[in-house]
């Protein structure tokens, strides 16, 4: 079998070990991601039938709200990814374990404090006002929110293991975990439809707990087998290790929090400007077009850690070839998204039937947004891989600050409705589309100076 695979690589011109490893994991990721996409799409009509449109809209808004708090990992996850890859490339396994230990115990401490504060504040918050929901849900939301948030905090800790796998160029592990999570969640929700009548509390608890359980199992397996030599130890937590991770992680943190504000506020804006029901068609369109970035991400994301290694070893020819290939592939996906816009109404009708109506304007703006995402991905993968992301951080902060007022302006005052929210995101995303390719060219040609080289 191994010889057959090697012959296959040779026939299609895949020569370097780095590219062979990426190709191998991309193939595996396609299998897992394909399963995840199917499970996700089956989940939507099942969930709408189980919860109804209003409660499903509340869940989507609630999930987006909780996602804002992912910035409390203060960029340590992405910082660990790059620093772990660099330490392994140098053969310094003790340093790599120090980075792992420092990341785990730091994020663990932050999450413990955060969870306790949230549980305390929960007694004083009326979540029905936050999500513009009916008052009869006040009790359920008061119970559900600390449960969901606590599991979210645990997930911030245990998902670090997928960062280690990815940094070690085991790129398909994230897809595998997502597949198992989606498949088991789908099975669980299908089963509770037979024993329960549309409980948002039960649905939210199951949906929040399953990823944590699966990731905890992966942590146990990894640190007792594959990555036993990197298992976290409190004695290896060191200020200098944390400083190394946080130095790069702080900039990643700024990029991350900007992205959260830019992309995760949409549901809350729509819910408050209109109603939770209006969140559903917006997310139907988002999930439909996100197929393109999911599939493209399977191919592109593994290059992040490989570019980190190649840049450390000054292998610029491999980097140039890889970016050129990703750009060609991106063009193919842009054509695919245009076709997805043309056939969107047919797909929505096949997927959710007449339960949800998605305006054509919303599909067009959503498609344009994902075209821009696909176009800029090869350049951001390169910049993330080499840690030159200060430009991203600055433009991210500026666009994040503009997104909310622009969303309200286009949605409410220009009467574009929910379509105005994604139109605002498109406008805010344009600077990245222009600046990231310029920065890549400057760095790869060794002419980058000042902010372009930071």
Structure confidence at residue 9 (pLDDT): 37
- Residues 30-58 have a mean pLDDT of 79
- Residues 430-437 have a mean pLDDT of 90
Among residues of the chain, what percentage have pLDDT more than 70?
A: 86
Structure confidence at residue 230 (pLDDT): 87
Structure confidence at residue 216 (pLDDT): 92
Residue of 411, 171, 438 whose CA lies nearest to 304: 171
Check: pTM over 0.85? Answer yes or no: no
Residue 317 has pLDDT above 60, yes or no: yes
Least trusted range by pLDDT, from 6-10, 194-198, 392-396: 6-10
Task: Say which residue, 415 or 197, is predicted with more confidence.
Answer: 415
Task: Say which residue, 210 or 354, is predicted with more confidence.
Answer: 210
Residue partners of 35: CB distance under 8 A and separation at least 6: 179, 182, 183
- Residues 350-377 have a mean pLDDT of 91
Residue 330: pLDDT band with limits 50, 70, 90: very high
Residue 182 has pLDDT above 90, yes or no: no
Tell me the average pLDDT of the chain.
82
Query: What is the rounded distance in angstroms from the CA atom of residue 179 to the CA atom of residue 157?
Result: 20
- Go through 321-332 and write b for each residue having 16 or more CB atoms within 10 A of its CB, e for each that does not: ebbeebeebbee
- Residues 277-284 have a mean pLDDT of 88
Residue 431 has pLDDT above 70, yes or no: yes
Structure confidence at residue 1 (pLDDT): 38
Contact 268, 61 (CB under 8 A): yes
Structure confidence at residue 68 (pLDDT): 63
Instruction: Dihedral sign for Cα 137, 139, 141, 144, please.
Output: negative
Residue partners of 305: CB distance under 8 A and separation at least 6: 81, 82, 85, 166, 167, 168, 169, 171, 385
Structure confidence at residue 13 (pLDDT): 40
Query: What is the rounded distance in angstroms from the CA atom of residue 170 to the CA atom of residue 25?
Result: 7
Contact 185, 43 (CB under 8 A): yes
Taking the CB of residue 449, how many other CB atoms lie within 10 A of it? Answer: 8
Residue 247: pLDDT band with limits 50, 70, 90: low
Taking the CB of residue 273, how many other CB atoms lie within 10 A of it? Answer: 17
Residue 439: pLDDT band with limits 50, 70, 90: very high
Structure confidence at residue 73 (pLDDT): 58
Structure confidence at residue 63 (pLDDT): 77
pLDDT in tens, 249-260: 556 666 666 766
pLDDT in tens, 88-140: 878 888 888 888 888 899 888 988 998 999 999 998 888 888 888 888 788 88
- Residues 286-293 have a mean pLDDT of 90
Residue 7: pLDDT band with limits 50, 70, 90: very low
Structure confidence at residue 12 (pLDDT): 35
pLDDT in tens, 146-157: 998 899 889 889
């Amino acid at each position: 079998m191994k010889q057959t695979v090697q012959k296959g690589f040779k026939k299609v011109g895949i020569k370097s070990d780095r590219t062979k490893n990426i190709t191998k994991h991309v193939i595996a990721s396609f299998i897992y991601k394909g399963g995840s996409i199917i499970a996700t799409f089956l989940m939507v009509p099942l969930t709408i039938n189980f919860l109804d449109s209003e409660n499903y809209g509340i869940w989507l808004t609630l999930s987006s709200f909780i996602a804002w708090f992912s910035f409390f990992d203060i960029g340590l996850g992405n910082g660990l990814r790059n620093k772990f890859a660099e330490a392994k490339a140098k053969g310094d396994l003790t340093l790599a374990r120090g980075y792992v230990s420092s990341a785990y115990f730091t994020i663990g401490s932050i999450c413990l404090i955060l969870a306790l504060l949230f549980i305390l504040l929960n007694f004083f918050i009326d979540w029905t006002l936050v999500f513009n929901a009916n008052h009869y849900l006040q009790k359920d939301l008061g119970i559900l929110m600390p449960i969901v948030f606590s599991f979210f905090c645990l997930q911030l800790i245990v998902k670090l293991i997928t960062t280690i796998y990815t940094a070690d160029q085991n790129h398909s592990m994230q897809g595998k975990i997502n597949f198992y999570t989606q498949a088991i969640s789908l099975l669980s929700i299908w089963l509770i439809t037979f024993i329960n009548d549309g409980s948002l509390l039960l649905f939210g608890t199951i949906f929040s707990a399953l990823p944590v359980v699966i990731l905890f199992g992966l942590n146990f397996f990894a640190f007792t087998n594959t990555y036993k030599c990197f298992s976290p130890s409190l004695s290896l937590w060191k200020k200098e290790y944390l400083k190394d991770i946080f130095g790069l992680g702080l900039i990643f943190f700024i990029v991350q929090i900007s992205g959260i504000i830019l992309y995760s506020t949409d549901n809350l804006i729509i819910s408050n400007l209109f109603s939770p029901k209006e969140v559903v068609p917006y997310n139907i369109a988002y999930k439909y077009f996100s197929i393109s970035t999911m599939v493209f991400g399977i191919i592109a994301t593994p290059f992040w850690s490989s570019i980190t290694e190649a840049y450390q070893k000054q292998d610029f020819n491999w980097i140039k070839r890889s970016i050129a290939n990703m750009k060609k592939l991106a063009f193919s996906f842009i054509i695919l998204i245009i076709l997805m816009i043309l056939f969107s109404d047919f797909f929505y009708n096949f997927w959710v039937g007449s339960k949800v109506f998605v305006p054509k304007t919303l599909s067009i703006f959503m498609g344009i947004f994902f075209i821009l995402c696909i176009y800029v991905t090869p350049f951001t993968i390169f910049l993330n891989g080499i840690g030159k992301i200060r430009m991203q951080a600055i433009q991210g902060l500026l666009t994040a600050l503009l997104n909310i007022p622009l969303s309200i302006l286009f949605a409410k005052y220009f009467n574009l409705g929910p379509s105005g929210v994604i139109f605002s995101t498109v406008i805010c995303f344009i600077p990245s589309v222009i600046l990231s390719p310029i920065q890549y060219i400057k760095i790869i040609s060794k002419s980058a100076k000042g902010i372009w080289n930071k």
